[in-house]
A and B are shown apart, each in its own frame.
Chain A
């Protein structure tokens, strides 16, 4: 197995699938400003997916383009976190999902900027700028909704309770990460989870939300074992490429 390829696909798929989910909001946002913001974040994520998957294709060396990887794999070959394929739910679920993810992505990119792989480092640097804004945006909404009305507090607490079990998967260290760290391609991820914890605790505290006590961890996405939701995402995502194979668009 080519660890760098695998790692880049994970990064690319997280961006691709979350970008897809956010784009489902387009035209349906709770206020016009948020419609614009969510479309904008989706656009950043699709851009990140494009660069990660393009690089993955080159690293793999089998002539697969970013589009081949994005549109023409089978479900088990997608390696995104289960968290990002969760349905949008209400705006509270979407913002909580985004926040939990952004709080992980920012310190992750801060580390990957120091990758010895120049291309990965460059993509991380660009994505870090975007993610810093995304995190600010999602944190503010989590605080607003948590410390808003009784209804919004309950909704966003429910969202947190629902999503909590998917967060542990972000920090799994398996042979892919270990190989890359040992070979010095990616820096050590020491302290990543602690940093995430600190951000999450601080924001949830300001939002007057309670961290769930159920610590059950739901894993699967990183190994290609997805939820039922991904199949439907891929049905839409791949529709054109599957219905009209091999054409230029």
Chain B
């Protein structure tokens, strides 16, 4: 091919490509607007893909790191029933992590790379797991508040525009709702117990209340991803809307069992039909996000160690699989 013809062909192709892309973008946005799910093989804008990989892997990491503060209490659970329930719950979380890593793989991400990003600090996870679990009541508070907040966040994700994520969320939400109830039930049991138990429950609420509200992310005025994510229908509510729902949902539950929400400014607002609540300490939030929470280093070190200590196991499994394959051929 002469060079003039080649230049002509390249120009033609690039024109076609631009036209095609704007056509593809139109079709994509039309699907989104009509609430038709985007599936792995469908065309999607690069940023949509990147946003989803970021969000879903962050969600997966949160499930996996989230196993640690609760796993911490399995060997010390107060009776056999609580031990079994806690084991099952933490196991569910590992399962959620697995679905979610699989969902990122449908977008072309590699699970091991994604996990390496977590270990290097490049990828984030929910800040709540950087707080320590100090007493048995924390198992109640974490289930009730943290899984409660997760449900608020995740129920709308069942209608997220990306099919595999939306479908994973349907199952995850069912399990989270069980977790939330078992957490509340722990708190209820404690609140109908002795003075020590009541104090333990109140102390757990005091420590976990504000971090749970922070789980919805920065206020809408500071959230850099919300607007685009809402246009793509990855997100259906803003951070502040979800936070308000959480407060309105949780306050009556706390009151019903005699717990006091640690917020002197908390007041029912008749006009808006919801609670007004006090100022969130966003400095604390950003500090924990940046790595300065009470357990950030411990959590990541633990995960990294698990991966490093398991390297020889994964190598052995691969080596054995290779040997089997060779034997089959031979």
Answer yes or no: A193 CB below 8 A from chain B CBs.
no
* Chain B, Cβ-Cβ closest to A144: B320
Answer yes or no: A185 CB below 8 A from chain B CBs.
no
Answer yes or no: A5 CB below 8 A from chain B CBs.
no
Determine if A33 and B98 form an interchain contact, defined as CB atoms under 8 angstroms apart. Answer: yes
| Residues from chain B with Cβ under 8 Å of A27 in the complex | 64, 67-68, 71, 90, 302, 306
Q: Could you tell me the distance between the alpha carbons of A161 and B306 in the complex, rounded to whole angstroms? A: 25
Nearest-neighbour CB distance to chain B for A88, whole angstroms, equals: 11
Q: Interface segment, A115-123, A129-137, A237-245?
A: A237-245
Determine if A26 and B313 form an interchain contact, defined as CB atoms under 8 angstroms apart. Answer: no
Determine if B136 and A240 form an interchain contact, defined as CB atoms under 8 angstroms apart. Answer: yes
Known: A152-B313, A239-B76. A40 touches B91 (CB 8 A): yes
Answer yes or no: A49 CB below 8 A from chain B CBs.
yes
Which of A50, A53, A152 lies in contact with B316, CB distance below 8 A?
Answer: A152
* Chain B, Cβ-Cβ closest to A95: B313
Answer yes or no: A42 CB below 8 A from chain B CBs.
yes
Q: Interface segment, A64-72, A77-85, A99-107, A195-203?
A: A64-72
Interface string of A15-28 (1 = CB under 8 A from B): 00000100110111
Q: Could you tell me the distance between the alpha carbons of A90 and B308 in the complex, rounded to whole angstroms? A: 12
Answer yes or no: A249 CB below 8 A from chain B CBs.
yes
* Chain B, Cβ-Cβ closest to A38: B91
Q: Interface segment, B51-59, B149-157, B190-198, B252-260?
A: B190-198
Scoring A27, A39, A67, A144 by chain B CB atoms within 10 A of each residue's CB, the highest score goes to A27
Residues facing A in B286-330 (CB within 8 A) are 302, 305-307, 309-317, 319-320, 323
Known: A32-B97, A151-B316. A26 touches B87 (CB 8 A): yes
Determine if A50 and B84 form an interchain contact, defined as CB atoms under 8 angstroms apart. Answer: yes
Answer yes or no: A147 CB below 8 A from chain B CBs.
yes
Determine if B319 and A149 form an interchain contact, defined as CB atoms under 8 angstroms apart. Answer: yes
| Residues from chain A with Cβ under 8 Å of B94 in the complex | 32, 35-36, 39
Answer yes or no: B79 CB below 8 A from chain A CBs.
yes
Determine if B84 and A46 form an interchain contact, defined as CB atoms under 8 angstroms apart. Answer: yes
Determine if A237 and B67 form an interchain contact, defined as CB atoms under 8 angstroms apart. Answer: no
Known: A36-B94, A36-B95, A143-B320. A29 touches B76 (CB 8 A): no
Nearest-neighbour CB distance to chain A for B216, whole angstroms, equals: 25
| Residues from chain B with Cβ under 8 Å of A24 in the complex | 75
Known: A27-B71, A36-B91, A144-B320. A70 touches B98 (CB 8 A): no
Q: Could you tell me the distance between the alpha carbons of A66 and B94 in the complex, rounded to whole angstroms? A: 29
Answer yes or no: B21 CB below 8 A from chain A CBs.
no
Scoring A35, A42, A92 by chain B CB atoms within 10 A of each residue's CB, the highest score goes to A35
* Chain A, Cβ-Cβ closest to B139: A249
Q: Could you tell me the distance between the alpha carbons of A151 and B90 in the complex, rounded to whole angstroms? A: 31
Known: A33-B98, A147-B320. A43 touches B77 (CB 8 A): no
B residues apposed to A, CB below 8 Å = 64, 67-68, 71, 74-84, 87-88, 90-91, 94-95, 97-98, 101, 136, 186, 189-190, 193-194, 196-197, 302, 305-307, 309-317, 319-320, 323
Which 7 residue pairs of A and B lie closest in terms of their CB atoms, listed nearest first?
A30-B310, A148-B316, A152-B316, A240-B78, A249-B78, A30-B313, A27-B71
A residues apposed to B, CB below 8 Å = 20, 23-24, 26-36, 39-40, 42-43, 46-47, 49-50, 53, 66-67, 70-71, 90-92, 143-145, 147-149, 151-152, 155, 236-237, 239-241, 244, 247-249
Given A30-B307, A244-B197, A249-B189; 5 other pairs, CB 8 A cutoff:
A30-B311, A33-B98, A66-B80, A152-B316, A247-B194
Provide 13 A-B residue pairs closer than 8 Å at the C-beta atoms, listed in order of the A residue: A23-B83, A27-B67, A27-B90, A30-B313, A31-B313, A40-B91, A43-B84, A50-B81, A144-B316, A145-B320, A152-B313, A236-B75, A244-B194
